[in-house]
Amino acid sequence: MELKTKVSEAFASHFGGEGSLYASAGRINLIGEHTDYNGGFVFPGAIDKAIMADIRPNGTDKVNLYSIDLDESASFGLNEADAPSQQWARYVFGVCRETIKRGGSVKGFDAVFAGNVPLGAGLSSSAALESCFAFALNDLFNGNTIDKFELAKIGQSTEHNYCGVNCGIMDQFASVFGKKDCLIRLDCRSLEFEYFPFKLDGYRLVLVDSVVKHELVDSPYNKRRQSCENVARRLDIDTLRDADMEMLDAVKADISAEDYMRAKFVIEEKERVLDVCEALNRGDIETVGKLMYATHHGLSKDYEVSCEELDYLNDIAKECGVTGSRIMGGGFGGCTINLVADGIYDNFIATVTEKFNARYGHQPKIYDVVISDGARRVE
Ligand code: ADP
Ligand code: MG
Whether 311 is in the pocket of ligand 1, judged by its Cβ within 6 Å, is: no
Whether 129 is in the pocket of ligand 1, judged by its Cβ within 6 Å, is: yes
Q: Tell me the best of 27, 69, 125, 133 to mutate to test the pocket of ligand 1, counting ligand atoms within 8 Å of each CB and taking the most.
A: 125
Residue 72 is predicted with a pLDDT of 98
Q: How far is the CA of 130 from the centre of ligand 1 (A)?
A: 10
> What sections of 85-124 are H helices per DSSP?
87-101
Residues 110-140 pLDDT 10s: 999 999 999 989 999 999 999 999 999 999 9
Burial profile 155-180: b = 16 or more Cβ within 10 angstroms, e = fewer: bbbbbeebbeeebebbbbbbbbbbbe
Domain ranges in the chain are 3-198+373-377, 203-369
Whether 201 is catalytic: no
Burial profile 193-227: b = 16 or more Cβ within 10 angstroms, e = fewer: beebebeeeebebbbbbbbeeeeeeeebeeebeeb
Ion ligand 2 neighbours, Cβ < 5 Å = 124, 126
CATH architecture of 3-198+373-377: 2-Layer Sandwich (3.30)
Residue 218 is predicted with a pLDDT of 77
* Percent of the chain whose pLDDT exceeds 70: 100
State pTM to two decimals.
0.96
Helix, strand, or coil (residue 212): strand
Whether the complex's predicted ipTM is more than 0.95 is answered with: yes
Contacting residues for 215 by C-beta, under 8 A, at least 6 apart = none
Residues with pLDDT less than 70, the chain: none
Q: 203-369 belongs to which CATH class? A: alpha beta
Residue 155 is predicted with a pLDDT of 98
Residues 334-372 pLDDT 10s: 999 999 999 999 999 999 999 999 999 999 999 999 999
